Structure 1
Amino acid sequence: MVLNNVRSSVSVIHINDNDVKEQPADFKTALSATGFGAYNFLLVLLLIPAAWANAIDLTKETFLLASAECDFQMTLIRKSLLVSAVYIGMMSSTFFWSFVTDRIQRRPLFLLGLLVDALCNIVSSLVESFYVFLLLKFITGTIVGGPFTLLSPYLSEFQSMKYNKKIATWSGFIFSWGFIIPAILAFNILPQSWSFILFERVYPSWRIYLLLCSIPSVVGFFTMLFLPESPKQLMEDGQLTKAHELLKRMYVINTRMPADTYPIKQLKLPVKNIDVEPAKTDIKKFNQTWSDIKALFDKKYLTIFFILNVLQFLIMVGCNTMRLWAPHLFIIMNNFDYSIMWNSTNNSPGMCDCLTPGIITSGLMNETHYANQTCVQWYINRNVYINSSIIASSGIGFSFIIGLFYTTKMKKRISMTFVYIFTVLCTIATNWGQVVPLLMLAGSIVVTGRITSNIIIVTNTNVIPAQLRTTAIGILTHVGNFGCIIGNFIFPIILQIHCTGTFIAIGSLLTICLLISYWIMRSKYQAPETSVS
């Protein structure tokens, strides 16, 4: 409305606030108007089972190495395959999932992943063939590397920009506690003599353990059935009415105000290039990804990106190898009989003195040990799983606390230097005692791996341009998974050849990581502000 003021001869324009609110709003504006409150917290709680199912899939097999050794006739090679199967599945399915996730809504794909994961876990608790069991673990790995990666993007699409980072930090901390669940279940189940009979076959306690490990997947599946598709996905699919109703529901729950007071009355359809054919879009995305890879290997970024990948590889070799093998090493040490296996009266056996008989004498490098039916079941002490819980909780707790600390480049350098030096010292002192040094070693390596891997991701954002970071993180993830696989195969073989040399090798790797990370922290290289052509 325009009113002419005769005295001042000035035209005054009055704008009705309702006219502004009636204008169609984009996703960010509409989401910010929903506020922040109970809906956001409730969503995190409802996603916990699915997130914990993901963490359990990456951990639970390590607790089966001793319990299922005789049933599956597990040689060292078979044990290495078992703990690596999930990571092999993750690596081999990446290209497939990168193609699928761009074409299917997140919620249905996540539901499918939870269903397949639950079925794989349930069936794996019943199969008697090691190779079928291994195949199921491989399929589980493809789920971990595919649908389960959609959890964080799905959650973030319900959070406004103002609170997104904070929710991501605290939800990641809560979700990480799923890594402790397998140790807690193992503590209560694996030492028991429980068994059940199905189709005239006896199934021991470790199969019950696997059944219980499938519960988070089952609960997560049914929980996800009651959760909506994200408002962003609904808007991109053109379902503006459903998206608007969902946003109003979020507003009501967060603010406890009537739905008609939601300030956004209309939504704006996201801009899409509908003239481009899907096939041409696929070729364009492939070419863009290939261009990003070539740009990362350009001389401007090659040195720093190569060093980040080397550091990620070495860290994951040490971190995940010890995380996955520590419970089995604890069991071997707890089966050491001092009266029979140690004759010296002058000193106590060191850690490698306790490990060597369990590794060497069992003949686990070939099948003859089981062909003669001489397999002896390990005695499983509950304390083994207490130690594993301590390691897992230390890794989660310390990495979260230190993650709040390294907000500047100097603090990152201090954090990495301290954790590496502490871990290297623990590695050198490994053979000077028994359980405590192994607990310190495993715990320090896990903590080191989680902290430094997080710092590498942060460093990647500082030295790699924004348009290349997604591709760079994808490559770093692949390199890290490859490091996990290599470490799982090499560690038991070297341990059998020379126990002390194994931990000296780990200490050497971490020393190299210390030197490399210190160089990176000193480097003044920063990502350019301009985009890369």
Structure 2
Amino acid sequence: MGDIKKNSEEAAADFETAIAECGFGLFNILMMCCAAPCLMAMVFSASAMSYVMPTAECDLQLTPFDKGLLNAVTYGGMIMGAIPWGFIADTMGRRPVLIWGGWIDGIFVLCAALCQDSTQLMVFKFLDGLIICGPFAVVVSYLAEFHGKKHRPYVMLFVGLCVSAGATCVPILAYLLLPVHILFSVGKMNFHTWQIFLLVTALPILLSGFLHIFLPESPKFLMAQGQYNKALESLQRIYAVNKRKTRDSYSVKHLTDATPDRSNAPDRPPQQRFTQAKLKFLEGVGQLRPMFSKPYLCISLQVYCLHFCQIMCVSSVRLWLPQIFATMHTFELQGINDTSMCNVLDHNSQVRSMDSESMRQECDLHMDPGIYKDNIIVAAVGVFGFLMIFPLMRIPLVANHILKVFLFVCVFLAGGLYFAKSALVTMIIASVYVTMMGVCATIIIGMSVVMFPTLMRTMVLMLIMTFGRLGSVAGNILLPVFMQISCHAPFLWLMALMSIAFIFSVFLKVDVQQPLA
């Protein structure tokens, strides 16, 4: 009897031990291949419109304010969908969100490709943002919950690389598709090249929804729900694929966790599951009271304001770069010598007042492949910059001061765009600026993990991302307003915001080497 009891205890394991026993192999590689389209789709949803507008403005008669709204509405949808999607994912599971969320979002992107006016396009891009933030957030948790402590940091690096790769793929896709002249009609609906481009951007998220049909539910989520038998089946499946052995040879026979085992309990009706999830959510909100008192109130407000200003600046520049490069390229082809930023911004403010023949010629020039090369280079420099800078983050002196140094430099880079007289100079300044700001955004997230205790960490990170998306919305709405005030106004506004972000960073005292609370 003693030997039987001993063998039973040896066969039981917690999640970390059980997932480590599965190893890393073919299943994990296939899983990352399924996740990559979803991670890239998020970038496609956020960035696609900035590449569409130089040509779509001719078909939709867009004003500068319309362009700002089209850049902003996707982020508005992401803000609205953040908390509901978190609630659904923690109640219904990761896999249903990835499957149904992927398909629903793909349908909305396809509907955006069918739109015939700017209002319809704004509605469906808002719905696109509302849905895509669910699968994107869930796929990160899903990946983490299928890997043990040994491989989890590398999986998070994979997530960052996929997002960077998506940012590079969008201008490459624009370079290949948008210069091709396409125009056909189906009934009363006219279809142009930019609509085909949007249609293609729907493919990654639709593919992601399809591929996740073949993957199991997260074993960690199943354990949290008390479904230990299903969690064990999921782990056995991973083990069998990775080790090329039968499921019965998996050494773990029982799972242990703080959550009571409800494997043999009848399934709870959806209403009961939602009620229990609601109670857990309210308990979690109650644990956030320390965030509204010292010392965390002051720190959190600094981080929110810093991230808001920083993302407002970088989004205002990044999402308008395709339009700026397109206009500069047009000037060069037309032999216009004055390619200063003032003339570029003034031209974009006056596009709608052009006659139909001038508009047609403008569209033809905007569809030249050369206008997208600068955007590809800016995105590629961003990927290269991340790979070069992040190894240096192991040095404490660099890690503790790189944020304030980069923000200080970016104050002058934002102002330096005003003095850019050619596409080449604009590309060089923008590449350095966007790369540095991207690094700063990642550092802020990393610092927040250290600064806040475990029970506050997830909610604080969610709020930081929400403030960043609010900054994206505000930036893309306000930039056209400043463009119409004067040539200097947008750049003075950007420099002021960057200066505010820098001041917040100076007073943000963080030791990245401190242990987690």
The residue matched to 1:502 in structure 2 has which SS?
Answer: helix
Are the aligned partners of 1:296 and 1:468 in contact in 2 as well (CA < 8 Å)?
A: yes
| Aligned twin of 1:336 | 331
Q: Which moved more, 1:263-272 or 1:377-386?
A: 263-272
| Aligned twin of 1:411 | 398
1:85 aligned onto 2:73: yes
Are the aligned partners of 2:43 and 2:167 in contact in 1 as well (CA < 8 Å)?
A: yes
Are the aligned partners of 2:420 and 2:426 in contact in 1 as well (CA < 8 Å)?
A: no
Q: Which moved more, 1:302-311 or 1:92-101?
A: 92-101
Are the aligned partners of 1:120 and 1:140 in contact in 2 as well (CA < 8 Å)?
A: yes
Code of the aligned partner of 1:321 = S
The residue matched to 1:125 in structure 2 has which SS?
Answer: helix
Summarize the alignment of residues 271-286 of structure 1 with structure 2, pairs less than 5 Å apart.
Answer: 271-272=259-260, 281=276, 284-286=279-281
Code of the aligned partner of 1:298 = S
Q: 1:350 to 1:418 in 2, by over 3 A?
A: farther
1:90-130 deviation line (CA, Å, top 9, x unaligned): 11223322332222121112111111111112122112132
Are the aligned partners of 1:464 and 1:527 in contact in 2 as well (CA < 8 Å)?
A: no
Q: CA deviation at 1:528?
A: 9.4
Q: For 2:79 and 2:514, locate their aligned partners in 1 and report how far apart those are by CA, in whole Å.
A: 28
Q: For 1:223 and 1:287, locate their aligned partners in 2 and report how far apart those are by CA, in whole Å.
A: 34
1:460 aligned onto 2:455: no
Q: CA deviation at 1:19?
A: 4.5
Summarize the alignment of residues 99-138 of structure 1 with structure 2, pairs less than 5 Å apart.
Answer: 99-138=87-126
1:426 aligned onto 2:421: no
1:358 aligned onto 2:347: yes
Summarize the alignment of residues 121-520 of structure 1 with structure 2, pairs less than 5 Å apart.
Answer: 121-199=109-187, 201-237=189-225, 239-268=227-256, 271-272=259-260, 281=276, 284-336=279-331, 349=338, 351-362=340-351, 364=352, 369=353, 375-376=359-360, 377-378=362-363, 379-380=365-366, 381-430=368-417, 431-520=419-508
TM-score by length of 1: 0.86
Are the aligned partners of 1:73 and 1:370 in contact in 2 as well (CA < 8 Å)?
A: no
1:53 aligned onto 2:41: yes
Q: 1:33 to 1:432 in 2, by over 3 A?
A: closer
Q: For 1:526 and 1:308, locate their aligned partners in 2 and report how far apart those are by CA, in whole Å.
A: 18
TM-score by length of 2: 0.88
1:38 aligned onto 2:34: no
Any gaps of 5 or more consecutive residues in structure 2?
Answer: none
Are the aligned partners of 2:228 and 2:261 in contact in 1 as well (CA < 8 Å)?
A: no
Q: 1:502 to 1:439 in 2, by over 3 A?
A: same
Q: For 1:426 and 1:405, locate their aligned partners in 2 and report how far apart those are by CA, in whole Å.
A: 22
Code of the aligned partner of 2:347 = G
Q: For 1:184 and 1:266, locate their aligned partners in 2 and report how far apart those are by CA, in whole Å.
A: 49
Question: RMSD value over aligned CA atoms?
Answer: 3.1
| Aligned twin of 1:6 | none
Q: 1:352 to 1:107 in 2, by over 3 A?
A: same
Which of the pair has more CA radius of gyration? Answer: 1
Q: CA deviation at 1:479?
A: 0.8
The residue matched to 1:299 in structure 2 has which SS?
Answer: coil
Q: What is the aligned counterpart of 2:10 among 4, 21, 28?
A: 21
Q: CA deviation at 1:313?
A: 0.8
Q: For 1:526 and 1:42, locate their aligned partners in 2 and report how far apart those are by CA, in whole Å.
A: 35
Q: 1:526 to 1:51 in 2, by over 3 A?
A: closer
The residue matched to 2:151 in structure 1 has which SS?
Answer: helix
Q: 1:292 to 1:248 in 2, by over 3 A?
A: closer
Are the aligned partners of 1:322 and 1:445 in contact in 2 as well (CA < 8 Å)?
A: no
Code of the aligned partner of 2:214 = F
- The count of corresponding residues between Structure 1 and Structure 2 is 506
1:452-500 deviation line (CA, Å, top 9, x unaligned): 1111112112222221111111111111111101110111221232223
Q: 1:226 to 1:515 in 2, by over 3 A?
A: same
Are the aligned partners of 2:400 and 2:511 in contact in 1 as well (CA < 8 Å)?
A: no
Q: For 1:267 and 1:290, locate their aligned partners in 2 and report how far apart those are by CA, in whole Å.
A: 29
